[in-house]
Amino acid sequence: MAISSILLKVEADLKRDFELTCARRDTSVAQALRNQMRRYVDEVVDSECTRIALRYKPSDGAALDERTGGLFSLSEPDDVATLKRMYRLLDAFEREHPEIPLLTYNDREDLKMRGRALLDSPNSSLQQRVKGYEMVMRAHYARSAMESLDPSRAFSHLDHPGYKEYAAHYVAADVRTGEIKQDLARALQEKYVPPQGELKVRGSYWRRAT
């Protein structure tokens, strides 16, 4: 809803008081409303995070988070708060795009290694090479999606598309640059229809619109 639409729904006396307060603080009404909305969102996010339980294992005096694969300190409130915000974004993204889980670093590396073994083996059939390619692509998708999540931005889980859209751009980018052989390219393009317009995957990362 536009800020002007919000103001139309506010009673005249409240609107006048709000505008006078903004004038005294040398702040525009629009900026004041944005600040209020930002505070409201932060309060909601903080409330949601209080209900989040972290999953971790002790590791050399620190804690190894099981979902992100990163180390953090349980004794540092900022570390814990940031990680809980990351969990919230991970949950939100996977609710939005449940088709492929967001794997940790070690799981992604394992998936890529097994996928590349199928791709590089001279004994692999075309079907096996497609499977290997998709394993590598799923690992790259998870990495790209996780890199797009910013704990300081409550809605950053909306920046990255789901697997189907990502895969179409990913395959098209590899075909365009000649990264894959023609028989594999044809098989993949039958499965992942090339997108129209500008390709948004570069170096396996999705480019967020600016």
* Coil vs helix vs strand at 163: helix
What local confidence, expressed as pLDDT, does residue 24 receive?
Answer: 61
Chain-centre distance for alpha carbon 65:
18
**16-35, pLDDT tens digit by residue?**
665 556 566 656 656 766 66
Closest CA relative to residue 67, chosen from 81, 77, 79, 57? 57
Element (H, E) at 184: helix 182-191
Q: Are 184 and 137 in contact (CB under 8 A)?
A: no
**133-186, pLDDT tens digit by residue?**
999 999 999 999 999 999 998 889 999 999 999 999 999 999 998 889 999 999
What local confidence, expressed as pLDDT, does residue 132 receive?
Answer: 97
- The Cα–Cα gap between 171 and 206 comes to 12
User: Is the model's pLDDT at 8 over the cut of 70?
Assistant: no
pTM of the model: 0.79
Q: Burial level of 26, CB count in 10 A (0-12/13-18/19+)? A: exposed
Average pLDDT, the chain: 85
Q: Which two tokens stand for residue 121?
A: 């083996």
